[in-house]
Amino acid sequence: MTAERPTGSDRTSPPKSTSLSTPSRTRRRTAALGAALALTLPLAACSSDGASGARAGGGSTSAAGSAPSASRTPTVDPDAYRHALTGALRPLDSALRTVDGAREGGALSRALDTAATRAETAADALQTAATPDNALSGNSELATALRALGQDLRSARGTGGRCATSPRVELDTAHGPESVKEAVRALKALGYGATLRLPRTERAKHRRLANGAFVRDGSRGGLGRLTVNNGTASDAVVTLTRGGGTAFSVYVRKGSKATVRSVNSGVYTVYFTTGQDWNGAKNSFTRGCSFEKFDDKANFRTVQVSGGTQYTVLTFTLNKVIGGNASTSTVPPGEFPS
């Protein structure tokens, strides 16, 4: 800112019959015997399933039924799963109720950390739980959603400093809580209900003061005059300090200008903060904040001159402008005057 800025099987052939020089009756018997062997050996050699048939001198053995039959895995008891589901979610539900009732500040930050840890523990428990076939998908989705919820709870905690968005506002736009709701509803529709009350959230606010309103006003009785032009896209609060104390702070809406009259003579440091949603309790914006100061001091003087009184009139422009002659520096939020 500046003022004025990633297999064949082996086949056994039947033995061939042999012709012998014997009387004709004997030949016929031999031939008949040979024919019988030719017919019976192939039948003994092969069975309908390709396995060997009966052994010589023994009874036939059936190959079918010799292999063990496959056993089916028993179905998981739905009641056992319901018990596991309730056990995994109960500690988390308790922690979320604590978040719901905690006041903003340290108490809420600690509650959010505890709830985040329990959400992750619940996800681990569900991933190892024996689950009925019809709940496999829903159980997996819930475990994934719980991990996302844990991350959202930690992120919402924030730093707790100035310009800190309320954790309840952060949770209002987070995806984890809604994913958990959907997964719980899907399991409930299958008959696996569980209690899990998510903490309340808040919509983002857009609080503003009137243009030119004083956030803080000390004793003013001089003749000096200060005009502030705010050409930025955010509202601003301009604060003048002198001798370690705040003289006054004035609210200037975006695209507007405001004038402070009766500024006492003296040398002042000029600070300004911009952002959205003014939190009067913290004297700070809650979103999109910046904290800066002008490097040059503002010197207001009042002197008597011939024919009257001469006093200082200054104009500060918060946005960058062509030909501007005032530079600015970033100020740590903790060092910005209240």
Q: Percent of the chain scored above 70 by pLDDT?
A: 76
In this predicted structure, what is the pLDDT of residue 227?
Answer: 97
High-pLDDT (> 90) share of the chain, %: 63
The 3-class secondary structure across the chain, one letter per residue, is: CEECCCCCCCCCCCCCCCCCCCCHHHHHHHHHHHHHHHHHHHHHHCCCCCCCCCCCCCCCCCCCCCCCCCCCCCCCCHHHHHHHHHHHHHHHHHHHHHHHHCCCCHHHHHHHHHHHHHHHHHHHHHHHCCCCHHHHHHHHHHHHHHHHHHHHHHHHHCCCCCCCCCHHHHHHCCCHHHHHHHHHHHHHHCCCCCCCCCCCCCCCCCCCCCCCCEEEECCCCCCEEEEEEECCCCEEEEEEEECCEEEEEEEECCCEEEEEEEECCEEEEEEEEEEEEEECCCCEEEEEEEEEEECCCEEECEEEECCEEEECEEEEECCCCCCCCEEEEECCHHHCCC
pLDDT in tens, 189-216: 999 988 899 999 999 999 999 999 999 9
Over range 139-157, report the average pLDDT. Answer: 96
Which pLDDT tens digit goes with each residue over 132-145? 999 999 999 999 99
Model confidence at 322, pLDDT cuts 50, 70, 90, reads low
What pLDDT sits at residue 321? 65
Mean pLDDT confidence for 94-122? 94
Confidence at residue 228, expressed as pLDDT on a 0 to 100 scale: 97
- Mean pLDDT value across residues 19-39: 37
pTM: 0.65
User: Which segment of 64-68, 100-104, 269-273, 284-288 scores lowest on mean pLDDT?
Assistant: 64-68
Higher pLDDT, 143 or 160: 143
Q: 52-64 pLDDT, tens per residue?
A: 443 444 444 444 4
